Amino acid sequence: MAKVPLSRIAHGRSGDKGNHANVAVIAYTDAGFAWLSKHLTAEVVAAYFAPLGATRVERFEAANVRGLNFVLYDALAGGASRSLRTDTQGKTLALALLQMEIDEPDNKEL
Amino acid sequence: MDRVRIGNGCGFWGDNLDAPARLARTGRLHYLTLEYLAELTMSILALIKAKDANAGYATDFIDVLHSLAPTLREQPHLKIVTNAGGMNPHACARAAQAALAKAGLTKRIAVVSGDDLYPRLDELFAAGHALNHLDNGAPLSTIRDKVVSANAYLGAKPIAEALKLGAEIVITGRVADASLTVGPAAHEFGWGFGESDLDRLAAGTVAGHLIECGAQATGGLWVNADATTRLEDVGYPIAEIAADGTFTVSKPANTGGAVNVETVAEQLLYEVGDPARYFTPDVVADFTTVKLSQLGADVVGVTGGTANGLTDTYKVSVSYRDGFASAGTLVITGPNAVAKARASGAIILEKLKAAGFAFAHSYVEVIGAGDVVPGVLPKAEPPSVSFDPATRPFSAGRAGSNETDFPKEVVMRVAVRDPRKAAVERFTKEFAPLVTSGFAGTTGYTVGRPPVREVFAYWPALIAKSAVAPKVEVL
């Protein structure tokens, strides 16, 4: 099956709350949101970001904007001030997730 | 007033200095809000205040006031609400007054304080307010001697009170960012802060949340921005709020950027946990009931946004000393830039170890090789080539094998954190030597030794509202 990046069907933004990161993924269409709801589970996102060392990942829905919001607990290596990473605030995580390779959805309306 | 126009010209301390004046000049605003305080800004301001009783506020605000003077003269009814007061809102107000006087202006300035809990910590502990860490439950007393600042996030109520007293400029310490917008709306429309007005407060909170980060609502960070978005001329956001809490998000005419359902939806979920429960001192807002619609070019209509209750606590942001840190960089060019950069980082840490400095925390990043989101994105190196310096030679010369010239060059960044300041200072002296003793292709040591900074860790907590007394004073 052909692979496409998640960015084909969704956009998003990420940021921080202390040592936790939030990554919002927002589908362009209703069909895209249905795809996200089914496939982009907390487990899938946790596995994708596993190298960051999050202790757990929680998924929240904001269907009103076709959005899923993932909270990655303890994912920022200490967060602002403490973290030794360049991206102490998780600013780049949304684009990283949008680069995830997914099986090209069958539904051409996405 | 039918609809109140509130524009936010500053999303954080460090934001564009010209944005507030540009926004106010053409935004047809009733209120200009300016937000300066990130989570850990207060720790820095607390230390500044400890050295100088007349300092400890966001000094950028005074520069911004100078730039706003012509607009304030042309628009005598424009009001300003800002948390620039930081750790010293009274000193900020005095400086603002002086800056205005210099420009020939007189404004009624109000100060909102009472957020600073640091002088009251022992009294609060004694009264049973343990300020337990929100995530792990540890009581604040365990790090009492390291605490630098402790501030409650106040809400919109004291801001509305200040405006009712006739304030034209309201300067606060720590308040919830969205409350900078909710305060003026509540004042203009007579919203109360009890059960009957919670939905309106929630809608106002959505408006405040959407504009609090400045250009992030108007094209900044938008995933689909490109050169045609004209971010070089980005307009800052305006919320035009009606008495029932419905509002539009827009930006001044003839500016760059974009306001559409994508930019607004991205910002709606920015730095949010559970979108059905966005906690503020004013209300728990439910963002999942918000409806967005494109009403015109760069105008998004926002309806919905309902209350999900009200808490009897304020959030408290505590900062405490947590050692010292520094990060330095060198540029390494190819061939084999990535491998040489990783080895260079290892050399720096090895040399320090040999000199007797092993660090509590150290980290090597190769920027350009995918390390900014470590381990997540596909590697920049072709996967078939091993760059393990232990098993493969990687020199740029004749002995090199498996050479690659991709990426052409990278930035090697090494960072350490340690309780010992002297050890971190020693670390900063280990970059320059590699310009002569490192690998061929090492450059970029132009800014001198990297600075050592004190680390302030963040300790979130809650406190009963009854233990905190917001104070409003008109100068």
Residue B21 Cα to chain centre, angstroms = 21
As a whole number of angstroms, the distance between CA B146 and CA B47 comes to 12
Residue pair B269/B257 in contact (Cβ under 8 Å)? The answer is no
Q: Which helix (H) or strand (E) holds B455?
A: strand B453-464
Structure tokens at A7: 């960015």
Chain A closest-CA separation from residue B374 CA (Å)? 7
What are the sequence ranges of the domains in chain A? Answer: 3-103
Q: Verify that B271 and B360 share a domain, yes or no.
A: no
Structure tokens at B226: 């490109």
Q: What are the chain A neighbours of B460 within 8 Å (beta carbons)?
A: 18
Residue pair B169/B61 in contact (Cβ under 8 Å)? The answer is no
Contacts of B226 (CB under 8 A, 6+ apart): none
Chain B contact for A104 (CB, 8 A cutoff):
no
As a whole number of angstroms, the distance between CA A32 and CA A26 comes to 9
Chain B closest-CA separation from residue A104 CA (Å)? 19
Q: Could you say which of B311, B343, B370 is where a domain stops? A: B311
pLDDT higher than threshold 60 for residue A102? yes
Q: What are the chain A neighbours of B376 within 8 Å (beta carbons)?
A: 48-49, 51-52, 96
B57-73: average pLDDT: 97
Chain A closest-CA separation from residue B474 CA (Å)? 34
Are B291 and A64 a contacting pair at CB < 8 A?
yes
Q: Verify that B41 and B166 share a domain, yes or no.
A: yes
Q: Verify that B292 and B328 share a domain, yes or no.
A: no
A62-68: average pLDDT: 98
pLDDT at residue B406, as a whole number: 80
3-state secondary structure B423-447: HHHHHCCCCCCHHHHCCCCEECCCC
Contacts of B216 (CB under 8 A, 6+ apart): A13, B11, B266, B267, B270
In CATH, A3-103 is 2.60.40 = no
Residue B125 domain-assigned? no
Q: Verify that B187 and B93 share a domain, yes or no.
A: yes
Are B373 and A87 a contacting pair at CB < 8 A?
yes
Residue B306 domain-assigned? yes
B319-337: average pLDDT: 95
Decide the pairing of beta strands B313-333 and B442-443.
antiparallel
ipTM above 0.95, yes or no: yes
B210-235: average pLDDT: 97
Counting residues of chain B whose pLDDT is more than 70, the rounded percentage is 94
pLDDT at residue B445, as a whole number: 87
pLDDT higher than threshold 60 for residue A14? yes
Contacts of B383 (CB under 8 A, 6+ apart): none
pLDDT higher than threshold 80 for residue B394? no
Q: Which of B221, B223, B226 is nearest to A28 (CA)?
A: B223
Counting residues of chain B whose pLDDT is more than 90, the rounded percentage is 91
Strand order in the sheet with B306-307: B278-279, B284-286, B306-307
Chain B closest-CA separation from residue A106 CA (Å)? 24
Residue pair A58/A108 in contact (Cβ under 8 Å)? The answer is no
Q: Verify that B327 and B288 share a domain, yes or no.
A: no
Residue B266 domain-assigned? yes
Q: Verify that B421 and B389 share a domain, yes or no.
A: yes
Residue of B222, B265, B377 with shortest CB distance to A96:
B377
Residue B122 domain-assigned? no
Q: What are the chain B neighbours of A26 within 8 Å (beta carbons)?
A: 262, 265-266, 269
The DSSP-derived string for B91-153 is HHHHHHHHHHHHTT----EEEEE--B-GGGHHHHHHTT-----TTT---GGGGGGGEEEEEE-
Strand positions, DSSP E, B283-384 = 284-286, 291-296, 299-303, 306-307, 313-333, 361-367
pLDDT higher than threshold 50 for residue B384? no
Q: Considering its fold, how many domains does chain B have in total?
A: 2
Q: Verify that B267 and B344 share a domain, yes or no.
A: no
Are B372 and A52 a contacting pair at CB < 8 A?
no
Residue of A61, A82, A87 with shortest CB distance to B372:
A87
Chain B closest-CA separation from residue A53 CA (Å)? 10
Structure tokens at B75: 């628009």
Residue B350 domain-assigned? yes
Chain B contact for A85 (CB, 8 A cutoff):
yes
Q: Which helix (H) or strand (E) holds B44?
A: helix B41-51
Chain A closest-CA separation from residue B373 CA (Å)? 7
Residue written as token pair 């963002």? B287
Q: What are the chain B neighbours of A49 within 8 Å (beta carbons)?
A: 376
What domain range is B400 assigned to? 320-459
Residue pair B301/B246 in contact (Cβ under 8 Å)? The answer is yes
As a whole number of angstroms, the distance between CA B167 and CA B245 comes to 23
Residue B372 domain-assigned? yes
At residue B185, what are phi and psi to the nearest 5 degrees?
Answer: -65, -45
Q: Verify that B270 and B398 share a domain, yes or no.
A: no
Chain A closest-CA separation from residue B69 CA (Å)? 34
pLDDT at residue A105, as a whole number: 83
Are B265 and A15 a contacting pair at CB < 8 A?
no
Q: Which helix (H) or strand (E) holds B171?
A: strand B169-172
Contacts of B460 (CB under 8 A, 6+ apart): A18, B133, B134, B135, B315, B316, B317, B318
Of A60-64, B380-384, B386-390, B400-404, which has the strongest mean pLDDT?
Answer: A60-64
As a whole number of angstroms, the distance between CA B210 and CA A89 comes to 19
Model confidence over B436-467: pLDDT tens digits? 999 999 999 877 899 999 999 999 999 999 99
Q: Verify that B307 and B324 share a domain, yes or no.
A: no
Chain B contact for A64 (CB, 8 A cutoff):
yes
Chain B contact for A4 (CB, 8 A cutoff):
no
Are A22 and B221 a contacting pair at CB < 8 A?
no
Chain B contact for A9 (CB, 8 A cutoff):
no
Q: Could you say which of B288, B311, B334 is where a domain stops? A: B311
Residue B468 domain-assigned? no
A45-70: average pLDDT: 98
Q: Verify that B287 and B165 share a domain, yes or no.
A: yes
pLDDT at residue B399, as a whole number: 52
A78, closest residue in chain B (CA to CA): B457
Are A60 and B274 a contacting pair at CB < 8 A?
yes
Residue pair B264/B251 in contact (Cβ under 8 Å)? The answer is no
pLDDT higher than threshold 50 for residue B250? yes
A94, closest residue in chain B (CA to CA): B223
Q: Verify that B291 and B200 share a domain, yes or no.
A: yes
Residue B401 pLDDT class (50, 70, 90 cuts):
very low
Residue B469 domain-assigned? no
Question: Among B278, B300, B373, B412, which would you mutate to test the A interface (most chain A Cβ atoms within 10 Å of its Cβ)?
Answer: B373
pTM of the model: 0.95
Say how many CB pairs under 8 Å bridge A and B: 139
- The more confidently predicted of residues B382 and B286 is B286
